[in-house]
Structure 1
Amino acid sequence: MITFFAALLLLFAGYALYSKVVQKVFGVDDSRLTPAYTKTDGMDYVPMSWWRGWLIQLLNIAGLGPIFGAVAGALYGPVAFIWIVLGSIFAGGVHDYFSGMLSLKHGGAQFPTIVGKYLGTFAKKAVSVVSIVLMLLVAAAFTAGPAQLIASITPLSFIAALIAIFVYFLLAAILPINKIIGKVYPIFGAILIVMAISIAVALLFGGKSIPNLTLANLHPGDLPIWPLLMVTISCGAISGFHSTQSPIVSRTMKKETEGRKIFYGAMIGEGVIALIWAAAGMTFFGGTNGLQAALAAGGPAGVVNDISTSLLGTFGGVLAILGVIILPITTGDTALRSARMMATESLSKWVNPDKKVILISVTLALGLPVFLLSTIDYAFLWRYVGGSNQLVATIMLWTAVSYLLKEGKAHYIAGIPALFMTGVVSTYVSYAPEGFGLDYKVSLLIGLLITLTVATMYVRQIIRHKSIATKRILVNS
């Protein structure tokens, strides 16, 4: 129990203290007009209040990610608390802040454009493909579950439920942001927050003791903590998906100082939600063995339903149903919207992305593979979402490093988590079945060698930029 409270306090302290450090390093100026005013178009560039932007950002990045991922990560035991806290404060918060603020700095630019600005044209082209594929995978992965649940509690068939969801997806992707997303997301955000707080209160006063910190690996399947925990709990620690969502809100901000509240603040909010559900997962079923049995029997949706209905009764059951239906959909709709924004931005050299026929055509073209992917095995989809998600997160952090190096600012705040995530991704790709499926020790060695190679390149860039800065000083003097 003490560990849980300490973790909560650390997350809040991280926002109160470290987010200000990150903001100071980036540098903000409220006298500069934001893209919401300089590019107002009534579609994506629409000024909105910071609290509405925060709720939209929270729903964009969260959905069921910090619930399902945290429950699965709870299989490793209380060590998951460490990753959620440190990941949210020093990696996820930095990642989300820079992805949002660099988008703001460059007129609301999409993630691939930002990458191209700081890592080069080849990186932009590669990331454009990876990012759009990630958006389609996420949209598909977060659609099948709700459709199955709708089919089980209504007369609609699974296909009919899918069609209904995709009609909403298409509308949310092509209508102005303040018409659907800006109006319904605050309500959905309230459901997500109330759900988490209710579970936390029930846990604390329900007579169950949340386990305290141990560094031991309690996973019943004896799966290694490194790097699997860092991929299992992505939403709630650091997630590359967030960098594709931040431009949606950056185009609605009224002033630059709102970025700390919206981007870093939403990441900490997601970390709190993940912490609560990780605690619930490892507590409610009497340990990680019980949790594994529950996951095997009903999957993450079944675990969430069991915890909610048992701790909160009928109210909890309603929240669980609303959560499992609504929250994934709120991730899927903005994933498709982001894919549409990326695709139209890439096509802007050849076609006018403001024309409705182009807008609708691109959205339909992207929606079709999402619809088809949502009909295949969910577990298969989710495995590929995890790896590509953390790859995108690593690229975003290195983009932030490049920006900070060029500006002569404290690049280490992004460089250290970037190196960490490089190790996570390279080891994971080597070890995971959906990667190369190599022996664990071999994968560790490969991950170490790749990380050391990247670290060497990083040091060379530091020396190079210091040399450039020194020459500028000599010339100016």
Structure 2
Amino acid sequence: MMWFLFCVAALIGGYFIYGAFVEKVFGINENRKTPAHTMQDGVDFVPMSTPKVYLVQLLNIAGVGPIFGPIMGALYGPAALLWIVLGCIFAGAVHDYFSGMLSVRNNGASVPTLTGRYLGNGARHFMNVFAIILLLLVGVVFVSAPAGMITNLVNEQTSFEMSKVSMVVLIFAYYIIATIVPVDKIIGRFYPFFGALLVFMSVGLMAAVAFSSEHTVMGGFAISDMFSNMNPNNLPLWPALFITIACGAISGFHATQSPLMARCMENEKNGRFVFYGAMIGEGIIAIIWCTLALSFFGSVEGLQEAVKAGGPGNVVYSASFGLLGVFGGILAFLGVVILPITSGDTAFRSSRLILAEYFNVEQKTLPKRLLMAIPLFVVGGILTQVDFGIIWRYFGFANQSTATIMLWTAAAYLLRHNKLHWIATVPAMFMTTVCISFIMSSAKLGFGLPITISTIIGVVSAVGAAAYVITVSKGKGETDLLDEDDPKAPAKTA
């Protein structure tokens, strides 16, 4: 239990200490009007209260990633907890803060526009394609996963037989509606309640295992296990763990979601709570599910058997009903199911806005919103027919690669303003090494090279990327930038 409490305390401490430091480096301007006021359109730019924006941001970024990822990461043992804590504080929350605040400073711009401004038009075009692919993968993952979980719940707990296909159709129908209606009609109205339910049920499950007479929190593990690889299949910890646990530690998907709330946040002073704080909240959820996976089944071998029996969804089902009974289990299970659904619709919403930005199509009128949205849902519907395991593998790599690019964007911004860029450069170098090493060593997705050679290539790539960004960004200088402290200054793409 002390491990769990230490991890949670570290995350909370990270928010108050490192989060405040990151905010100071960025330099907020409380007097600068945010896009929610300067570009208010009643559809995507709508001022909302800070608690509401925080809870919506939390639900937007917290899909199945901070649950399924930590469950699969728990197969490596308690080392997964260490990555969640360190990754969340020094990489993920920094990534989310800058993806949100740079959007605020650039009239609510999406991540490809931000990348283009600070890394150049070539990066912008690349990021447009990459972000759309990632969001489509997210949308498909967040249709397939909840559809399977709901179907399993209905078929197990009732006499009614439901097919997964019918549930996929229902979720897609909801996504279409949520993607095109004004942000405050569904997302702003209901998601804060769902966010509160998510937090309540996660804490409830943790309390249940803590006071259970049948289970001991992390009882079968020693302190030394925190620094060892316990994977029962002898899978290498490096770099797979850092791809497997994405959303609970750092996730590029969040860079596509933060601009949604950057368009609704009322003051820059709320940025640390909304963006950095929501990532810390997701990190705590990830810690809870990683701890539950290691505690409920007693060992990584027991967890592996549960995963083999039905994937991470089966782990969620078994833990929820095993700890809280039928009624509590249904509530907890539904609390988990809400996560991917509330992230899936915002994934498609972000895709619509990115396409609209790229093709310069206004989104105030319904026909124009449908023009951008319908092709996305057609492609997403086709992708649901692809094997979920294949989609998830590509999602993990695309997700972390997007996060890496966003961190380099943040580093470029800080360099141009002569600010402490290392808070973004160091995690960007680490994630570059992770992504390159993974794709070089992976036999299924990449080149299948030995891990030593792959890691060397990853390190060299990270150093090269740092040298390039530092050289190019410092060469730009302040004179090439808008005065971003001027509330009336328009955004400009590099």
Range of TM-score over shorter length: over 0.9
Instruction: Report the AA paired with residue 409 of structure 1.
Output: K
Aligned match of 1:88: 88
Secondary structure class of the residue paired with 2:304 = helix
> Number of residues paired by the alignment?
467
Aligned match of 2:48: 48
CA contact (8 A) 2:416 2:474 kept: no
* Distance in 2 (alpha carbons) for counterparts of 1:436 and 1:148: 32
Secondary structure class of the residue paired with 1:234 = coil
CA contact (8 A) 1:427 1:447 kept: yes
CA contact (8 A) 1:394 1:422 kept: yes
CA contact (8 A) 1:135 1:339 kept: yes
Aligned match of 1:184: 190
* Distance in 1 (alpha carbons) for counterparts of 2:476 and 2:6: 40
Aligned match of 1:474: none
Give runs of aligned pairs for residues 299-310 of structure 1, distance below 5 A. 299-310=311-322
1:273 paired residue among 285, 292, 309: 285
Question: How far is 1:344 from its partner?
Answer: 0.8
Aligned match of 1:105: 105
* Distance in 1 (alpha carbons) for counterparts of 2:22 and 2:452: 36
* Distance in 1 (alpha carbons) for counterparts of 2:254 and 2:446: 23
1:457 paired residue among 441, 455, 468: 468
CA change 1:329–1:130 in 2 (3 A) is: same
Aligned match of 1:163: 169
Aligned match of 1:79: 79
CA contact (8 A) 2:151 2:162 kept: yes
* Distance in 1 (alpha carbons) for counterparts of 2:192 and 2:328: 20
Question: How far is 1:192 from its partner?
Answer: 1.3
Q: TM-score, normalised by structure 2?
A: 0.91
Give runs of aligned pairs for residues 132-211 of structure 1, distance below 5 A. 132-152=132-152, 153=154, 154-207=160-213, 208-210=216-218, 211=221
CA change 1:8–1:324 in 2 (3 A) is: closer
Question: How far is 1:200 from its partner?
Answer: 1.4
CA change 1:101–1:83 in 2 (3 A) is: same
Question: How far is 1:365 from its partner?
Answer: 0.7
Secondary structure class of the residue paired with 1:226 = coil
Question: How far is 1:462 from its partner?
Answer: 7.6
Give runs of aligned pairs for residues 332-411 of structure 1, distance below 5 A. 332-348=344-360, 351-411=361-421
Aligned match of 2:456: 445
Aligned match of 1:251: 263
Instruction: Report the AA paired with residue 166 of structure 2.
Output: A
* Distance in 2 (alpha carbons) for counterparts of 1:212 and 1:455: 38
Secondary structure class of the residue paired with 1:224 = coil
CA change 1:438–1:31 in 2 (3 A) is: same
Greater alpha carbon shift after TM alignment, 359-368 vs 393-402: 359-368
Give me the identity figure in percent: 46
Question: How far is 1:443 from its partner?
Answer: 1.6
* Distance in 2 (alpha carbons) for counterparts of 1:72 and 1:456: 35
Aligned match of 1:287: 299
Deviations 1:282-321 (A, max 9, x none): 1211111111111011111100111111111123421343
Question: How far is 1:463 from its partner?
Answer: 6.9
Aligned match of 1:427: 437
1:116 has 2:116 as partner: yes
CA contact (8 A) 1:64 1:323 kept: no
CA contact (8 A) 1:145 1:324 kept: no
Please list every run of 5 or more consecutive structure 1 residues that lacks an aligned counterpart in the other structure: 470-477
Question: How far is 1:147 from its partner?
Answer: 2.0
CA contact (8 A) 1:240 1:393 kept: yes
Please list every run of 5 or more consecutive structure 2 residues that lacks an aligned counterpart in the other structure: 155-159, 481-494
* Distance in 2 (alpha carbons) for counterparts of 1:317 and 1:365: 38
Question: How far is 1:374 from its partner?
Answer: 1.6
* Distance in 2 (alpha carbons) for counterparts of 1:28 and 1:270: 24
CA contact (8 A) 2:64 2:340 kept: yes
Question: How far is 1:464 from its partner?
Answer: 4.9
CA change 1:38–1:227 in 2 (3 A) is: same
Aligned match of 1:218: 230
* Distance in 2 (alpha carbons) for counterparts of 1:386 and 1:31: 39
Question: How far is 1:199 from its partner?
Answer: 1.6
CA change 1:256–1:200 in 2 (3 A) is: same
Question: How far is 1:111 from its partner?
Answer: 0.6
* Distance in 2 (alpha carbons) for counterparts of 1:310 and 1:355: 49
1:17 has 2:17 as partner: yes
Instruction: Report the AA paired with residue 370 of structure 2.
Output: I
Aligned match of 1:58: 58
Q: TM-score, normalised by structure 1?
A: 0.94
Question: How far is 1:37 from its partner?
Answer: 0.7
CA contact (8 A) 2:43 2:364 kept: no
Question: How far is 1:461 from its partner?
Answer: 5.0
* Distance in 2 (alpha carbons) for counterparts of 1:7 and 1:252: 31
* Distance in 2 (alpha carbons) for counterparts of 1:352 and 1:160: 34
* Distance in 2 (alpha carbons) for counterparts of 1:355 and 1:420: 43
Aligned match of 1:472: none
Aligned match of 1:473: none
Instruction: Report the AA paired with residue 59 of structure 1.
Output: L
Deviations 1:317-353 (A, max 9, x none): 21343135322111110000000010111111xx444
CA contact (8 A) 1:345 1:353 kept: no
